[in-house]
Amino acid sequence: METIVRAACPHDCPDTCAMLVTVKDGVAVKVQGDPLHPFTDGTLCTKVAHYAERTYSPDRLLHPLKRIGPKGKGEFKQISWDEALDEIAARLKAIAAVNPEAILPLSYAGTMGMLQYSSMDRRFFHKLGASQLERTLCSSAGKAGIKATLGGSYGMDPEHYQDSKLIVIWGSNPIASNLHFWSRAQEAKRRGAKLVAIDPYRSLTAEKCSQHIALLPGTDGALALGMMHVLVAEGLIDQDYVSKYTLGYEELKKRLKQYPPDWAATTCGITLEEVVQLARDYGAVKPAAIRLNYGMQRHAGGGIAARTIACLPALTGAWRDPAGGILLTTADNYHFDHAKLERPDLMPAKRPRVINHSKLGDALTAPESPVRAVVVYNNNPVAVCPDSSKVIEGFAREDLFCVVMDSFMTDTADYADIVLPATTQLEHTDIHKSYGHLYVLANNPAIAPVGESLPNVEVFRRLAARMGFDDDCFRDSDDALARQAIGSGHANLAGMDWESLKRDGWKRLALPASFAPFAKGGFHTPSGKCEFYSESLKAQGVDPLPFYNPPAELPSSNPQLARRFPLNFLSPPVRNFLNSSFANLPRFRDAEGEPSLELHSDDAAKRGIADGDAVRVFNDRGSFTLKARVNDKPRRGVVVAPSVWWKKFARDRKNANDLTSQRTADLGGAATFYDCLVEVERTGLT
Ligand SMILES: Nc1nc2c(c(=O)[nH]1)N[C@H]1C(S)=C(S)[C@@H](COP(=O)(O)OP(=O)(O)OC[C@H]3O[C@@H](n4cnc5c(=O)[nH]c(N)nc54)[C@H](O)[C@@H]3O)O[C@H]1N2
Ligand SMILES: Nc1nc2c(c(=O)[nH]1)N[C@H]1C(S)=C(S)[C@@H](COP(=O)(O)OP(=O)(O)OC[C@H]3O[C@@H](n4cnc5c(=O)[nH]c(N)nc54)[C@H](O)[C@@H]3O)O[C@H]1N2
Ligand SMILES: [Mo]
């Protein structure tokens, strides 16, 4: 018998696709996009179209395991769930009896489902009094920046981009990472719109845009300031919009005198014409839209850069049209009841310390108040956290008790004392929001768990019982949790109920079909206006007006370091992996070949490097050996290692994060993966 089960893609991507899973005799035989879902429109990316291969991979972890070899060697024996959970509970109890803050949950976005990502797990660690994790690996700089200007994670409805006449694709590679936005951008182009990519690298996307502005990494704020200078100087401002709906225009205008377009051109390493023309296009073409994405904010000045760029649409009144404005993330439209799901009230009155995920290496190797246990789920920190050698030094500690819950034996799982097999999205229930559209989605389980694997929610229910946590909330069912998620009573969730969501698969938030969120102001800032001047930044000790905050490791910021390491190293995601997920599966690894470093031919020639040579990329933090691709896609002075590879599949068991730093950005405590200087040399190997 064949049935169709409604599901949602769980991966950390703005698209959050609606899926239909065909199940025959208890086996998932096909995973496809739901053609009726307005945003994702029946198409899935190359990875998730083959999701069943991930679920049924021969490499799936099927049973709990206990380490029998040295840490990092990946030698384990099978044990029962009871043995595994008894041992974990006993170890956590003993550590908590001395100091619960010595326990650290390590979770990120392996799944974005609200149940498996942030419900029972958070309750468990809150009740335990464990250290809190500040989840900063991806987006927190940009989000904080946008919040300062617009008041939160709000922006254009992405379903309107096809009606834009100019789309600036800024720090974003949507062909790889935001496919369904890209199909709308292409439709706009067919209707005559100009697409401009702003990226130091000629990505798959930049290649297909009408214009590519290849600025120096981390200089986006300077470009936006130069554009604003031109907009003001040439009278391309919407005075009526500015006077009604913005705060601080006169101060901004004065500030912009410091940032003429020739300064911006020099700072960004582009031509004066590029700055001026972009400003003129942006000021004149209506409606003009910006798709800002996270690539531009992985730098020391990334938060302020995002804040500065977010000022543009208010200056020109682009917000007046549904197809104008800017979007970084739609996440704050949802108003899910996170407090109910996560229960921060279960934490002890003296709030446990907070550890920054981006400084995990330091946290695990600190001699003071050491971390004694980590529980890892939805996260592969050995592969994805910056400054790997420190992270590995931490995970290799004999005195660190380490539990890893995953579906595969990741680089991190190799260091575990206990490994617990996790279900995939086809095997558990979940409820999803999206950060790239405005629908809520349900994920129904399509098949029974593979092997003995269990959903995160169930593991934390069972662990809570063993720890003696007897609050009722530790017995909530999956359905109860999903109802709590959408039970905040906020107007955007009006008419949303879990039974119909499960039946229909998805439903749009209660927002108008066509809407321009800030056409008449209504920003979510304290003043209700678009804040060119931000009191809340001032209160944090940050300049309240937009300014240029340079990256830390650009050669002009750090000439001394650049003498030894003159090249900017970028490691953005490849198309066939999802961060480090899928990077272990043959189909996707074969499609990507092997770890490679893309270079400009001038930089290659200076070093005697030819296409196909094995090269070592290095700095004071580490090194990584990969294959040179001399293709002129990165601008001069920039090298690009598409990522995130598993270390165990690389020839020297390293990856890009052996080079990246633990330095955090100006806002949001965020990681700065792309703010990284390196040198490259031929290895002499092939
Ligand atoms: N296929 C695939 N899709 C994904 C992911 C994946 O791993 N694979 N990851 C998902 C996740 S978690 C995220 S956060 C998003 C990430 O996707 P995006 O938000 O698009 O961000 P990145 O891919 O990190 O970077 C996008 C582009 O920014 C460029 N860039 C780097 N530094 C700068 C800079 O200083 N200025 C400018 N203007 N551009 C710069 C890079 O060269 C890259 O081409 O994608 C999601 N989707
Ligand atoms: N050099 C470099 N480093 C980067 C980036 C980069 O561009 N360059 N990107 C950064 C970004 S944007 C992000 S978002 C982070 C991503 O970092 P992570 O959130 O750690 O993402 P993944 O690498 O995909 O690893 C997630 C793991 O969760 C597991 N998982 C999935 N679903 C479940 C589940 O239901 N239960 C359990 N227990 N496990 C599950 C997967 O199998 C996978 O091993 O990486 C960051 N690191
Ligand atoms: Mo991310």
Distance in angstroms (rounded) separating the CA atoms of residues 359 and 88: 25
How confident is the model at residue 542, as a pLDDT? 98
How confident is the model at residue 453, as a pLDDT? 98
Distance of CA 375 to the CA centre of its chain: 21
Determine the distance separating the centroid of ligand 3 and the alpha carbon of 296, expressed in angstroms.
Answer: 12
How confident is the model at residue 26, as a pLDDT? 97
Q: How many CB atoms lie within 10 A of CB 681?
A: 14
Determine the distance separating the centroid of ligand 3 and the alpha carbon of 138, expressed in angstroms.
Answer: 4
State whether the beta carbon of 643 lies less than 6 angstroms from ligand 2.
Answer: yes
Atom of ligand 2 nearest to the CA of 571: 8
How confident is the model at residue 686, as a pLDDT? 63
pTM value is 0.98
Beta strands 401-406 and 194-198 are unpaired
CA nearest 211: which of 171, 164, 168? 168
Q: Which ligand is nearest to the CA of 57?
A: 2
Distance in angstroms (rounded) separating the CA atoms of residues 478 and 639: 46
Q: How many CB atoms lie within 10 A of CB 183?
A: 18
Read off the pLDDT of residues 82-94 as tens digits, 9 standing for 90 and up: 999 999 999 999 9
Q: Any idea which residue has 């009278």 for tokens?
A: 235
Q: Which ligand is nearest to the CA of 214?
A: 1
State whether the beta carbon of 675 lies less than 6 angstroms from ligand 2.
Answer: no
Determine the distance separating the centroid of ligand 3 and the alpha carbon of 2, expressed in angstroms.
Answer: 36
Distance of CA 33 to the CA centre of its chain: 22
Q: Whose CA is nearest to atom 31 of ligand 2?
A: 110
How confident is the model at residue 1, as a pLDDT? 85
Distance in angstroms (rounded) separating the CA atoms of residues 53 and 408: 13
Determine the distance separating the centroid of ligand 2 and the alpha carbon of 65, expressed in angstroms.
Answer: 21
Q: Which amino acid is at 552?
A: A
Cβ 126 vs Cβ 148: under 8 Å = no
Q: What is the CATH number of domain 141-328+516-539?
A: 3.40.228.10
Determine the distance separating the centroid of ligand 1 and the alpha carbon of 296, expressed in angstroms.
Answer: 8
Q: Whose CA is nearest to atom 21 of ligand 1?
A: 295
Tokens read off for 535:
């009191």
Distance in angstroms (rounded) separating the CA atoms of residues 457 and 75: 27
How confident is the model at residue 675, as a pLDDT? 98
| Mutate which of 579, 584, 647 for ligand 2 pocket (most atoms within 8 A of beta carbon) | 579
Sorted by sequence, the CB contacts under 8 Å of residue 350 that are 6+ apart come out as none
Determine the distance separating the centroid of ligand 1 and the alpha carbon of 293, expressed in angstroms.
Answer: 7
How confident is the model at residue 251, as a pLDDT? 98
Cβ 441 vs Cβ 40: under 8 Å = no
Q: Which amino acid is at 271?
A: T
How confident is the model at residue 416, as a pLDDT? 98
Determine the distance separating the centroid of ligand 1 and the alpha carbon of 574, expressed in angstroms.
Answer: 9
Distance in angstroms (rounded) separating the CA atoms of residues 261 and 186: 30
| Mutate which of 45, 380, 674 for ligand 2 pocket (most atoms within 8 A of beta carbon) | 380
Read off the pLDDT of residues 248-274 as tens digits, 9 standing for 90 and up: 999 999 999 999 999 999 999 999 999
State whether the beta carbon of 618 lies less than 6 angstroms from ligand 2.
Answer: no
Task: Supply φ then ψ for residue 253, to 5 degrees.
Answer: -60, -45
Distance in angstroms (rounded) separating the CA atoms of residues 78 and 63: 6
Residues of the chain under the 50 pLDDT cut: none
Class for the domain spanning 559-682:
mainly beta
| Mutate which of 136, 406, 569, 639 for ligand 2 pocket (most atoms within 8 A of beta carbon) | 406
State whether the beta carbon of 419 lies less than 6 angstroms from ligand 2.
Answer: no
| Mutate which of 173, 209, 216, 437 for ligand 1 pocket (most atoms within 8 A of beta carbon) | 173
DSSP state of 124: H
Task: Supply φ then ψ for residue 574, to 5 degrees.
Answer: -80, 165
Q: Which ligand is nearest to the CA of 13?
A: 1
Cβ 651 vs Cβ 593: under 8 Å = no
Q: Which ligand is nearest to the CA of 412?
A: 2
Domain with CATH 3.40.228.10 in the chain: 141-328+516-539
State whether the beta carbon of 416 lies less than 6 angstroms from ligand 2.
Answer: no
How confident is the model at residue 684, as a pLDDT? 77
Atom of ligand 2 nearest to the CA of 410: 44
Residues with CB under 6 A from ligand 1: 12-13, 138, 170-173, 176-177, 198-201, 203, 217-218, 220, 293-296, 299, 570, 572-573, 575, 577-579, 674
Task: Supply φ then ψ for residue 288, to 5 degrees.
Answer: -110, 130
State whether the beta carbon of 138 lies less than 6 angstroms from ligand 2.
Answer: yes
Beta strands 622-630 and 132-134 are unpaired
Atom of ligand 2 nearest to the CA of 656: 1
Determine the distance separating the centroid of ligand 3 and the alpha carbon of 666, expressed in angstroms.
Answer: 18
Domain with CATH 2.40.40.20 in the chain: 559-682
Sorted by sequence, the CB contacts under 8 Å of residue 92 that are 6+ apart come out as 103, 128, 373, 463, 467
Q: What is the CATH number of domain 65-135+334-497?
A: 3.40.50.740
